[in-house]
Amino acid sequence: MQLKLNNIILHSLAFNTEGELKCYPRNEELANSQPVEELASELHRIYNAKPAKGFGYFKCAEEDNSRLPFEIELRKFIDEESNFVDFSSAASSLLVGELLKYDFVTQGILAFVHYNWMASDYLIVALLENKDSVMVTEQLDLNSSHYLELSKVQLAAKIDLTEWRQNSDSKRYLSFIKGRAGRKVSDFFLDFLGCTEGMDAKIQNAGLMRAVDEFCHVAELDADEAIQAREQVAQYCNEQIKEGSEIEVKDLSDHLADVSSRDFYQYASEAYELEDSFPADRGAVRKLTKYVGQGGGLSVSFDQKLMGERISYNAQTDTLTIVGIPPNLREQLTRRSNSEDDSE
């Protein structure tokens, strides 16, 4: 589905001659063009595909329960009390202020993209790396060029403006890319937005996967039916990920109606504290149909339906037996074995 671009602007965060981080704002929005629309669409696609995202909402100031600066500026834009240029410039200055409070200081291009997709309004705020590159001309000469590194974006957030306006009690209208190990570099980005974490999508996904496993047991599904149920759930979840949509537990329950007459939605609602809808986590979904494990230099992954057929596990000896290993692995092992024989 094609998104409808409403507003887009880029501002630069860079060090001045004294080594201080400054915001160098653009004084007008980017005019709609094919490259601009492609940038917006690609940023939307890459952001949605990011697996590690948190969800939250705008918090209030602790001392007087008032709104924090970013939300104030955003509300002024939404209420048409300011334009997109003024909003984005004010927000960029807020980000510079937060960056200076941390040891982690970075340059880059700050993008603000306001668009409509699937009947909802969204705002993406992302700090992008501006990379240098070399390109070959038609005359086979070399020219230097700059490009935005979209695929590696780590500092970005998306606000569902429709959800924010219509459901003030929501705890998940704002999503953000989570940082990696240790203290999250995204902390200052959340402070800049005035966001606090709400729903944990990983916990929701883990709960759903447990619910599916236990549902197969309480519904007394045989081995083949249980495999079919897990595969149907995985297929549904992967389709939602591909479409950029969320898991709808009631909709998922309808997909399981062919496997069991028992209502999965009713069972999950009674036994687990699941939201009616939440984003799918690709890693959790993968474990529905596969056994996956790694450690000590060993990594193993195989389809669950192979257990008891080509693969068996002996708990007493902690031994996994595989009958019929993949051809490419067999070739490597045979080559290594022959090489050792020749050296003797």
Of the pLDDT bands very low, low, confident and very high (cuts 50, 70, 90), residue 145 is low
For residue 240, pLDDT over 90 is answered with no
- The verdict on 14 and 85 lying in the same domain is yes
- The pLDDT-based confidence of 132 (bands split at 50, 70, 90) is low
Shared-domain flag, residues 34 and 119 = yes
Residues 116 and 256 in one domain: no
CB 127 within 8 Å of CB 109: yes
- The tokens describing 308, both together, are 């008891």
Query: Which residues make Cβ contacts (< 8 Å) with residue 37, sequence separation at least 6?
Result: 5
Is residue 236 located within the same domain as residue 117?
Answer: no
Q: Which of 265, 289, 313 is the last residue of a domain?
A: 289
What amino acid is encoded at 45 in this protein? R
Are residues 70 and 110 both part of a single domain?
A: yes
The verdict on 159 and 192 lying in the same domain is: yes
| Same domain as 270, residue 161 | no
Number of domains forming the structure of the chain: 3
First to last CA, the chain: 63
Same domain (yes/no): 121, 141? yes
Specify the DSSP class assigned to residue 15: E
DSSP 167-195: -TT-S-SEEEE---SSS-TTHHHHHHHTE
Tell me the pLDDT tens digit for each residue of 250-285.
Answer: 998 888 887 888 888 888 877 787 888 888 888 888
pLDDT in tens, 174-212: 999 886 544 455 677 888 999 988 878 888 888 888 889
CA quadruple 48, 54, 56, 59: dihedral sign: negative
* Local confidence band at 331 (pLDDT 50, 70, 90 cut-offs): confident
pLDDT at 144 over 70: no
pTM passes above 0.85: no
Mark whether 29 and 78 lie in a shared domain. yes
Q: Going by C-beta distance under 8 Å and a sequence separation of 6 or more, which residues neighbour residue 125?
A: 91, 110, 111, 112, 156, 157, 158, 159, 193
Give the domain-ending residue among 139, 165, 199: 199
Is the domain of 103 the same as that of 190? yes
Mark whether 153 and 86 lie in a shared domain.
yes
Q: Which residue has the tokens 């020219």?
A: 143
Give pLDDT, residue 31: 94
* Full domain range(s) for residue 245: 202-289
Q: How far is CA 198 from CA 59, 61, 125, 160, 201, in A?
A: 10, 17, 19, 14, 9
Angle at the Cα of 225 (from 223 to 227), degrees rounded to 5? Answer: 70
How long a stretch of residues is the chain?
Answer: 344
Asked if 21 and 14 count as a contact pair (C-beta separation under 8 A), the reply is: yes
Q: Pick the last residue of a domain from 270, 289, 308.
A: 289
Q: Is the pLDDT of residue 341 over 70?
A: no
pLDDT (tens digit, 9 = 90+) per residue, 53-112? 888 999 886 667 788 999 999 999 999 999 999 999 999 999 988 888 876 667 889 999
How far apart, in whole angstroms, are the C-alpha atoms of residue 170 and residue 135? 47
The answer on 94 and 15 residing in a single domain is yes
Share of the chain above pLDDT 70, in %: 91
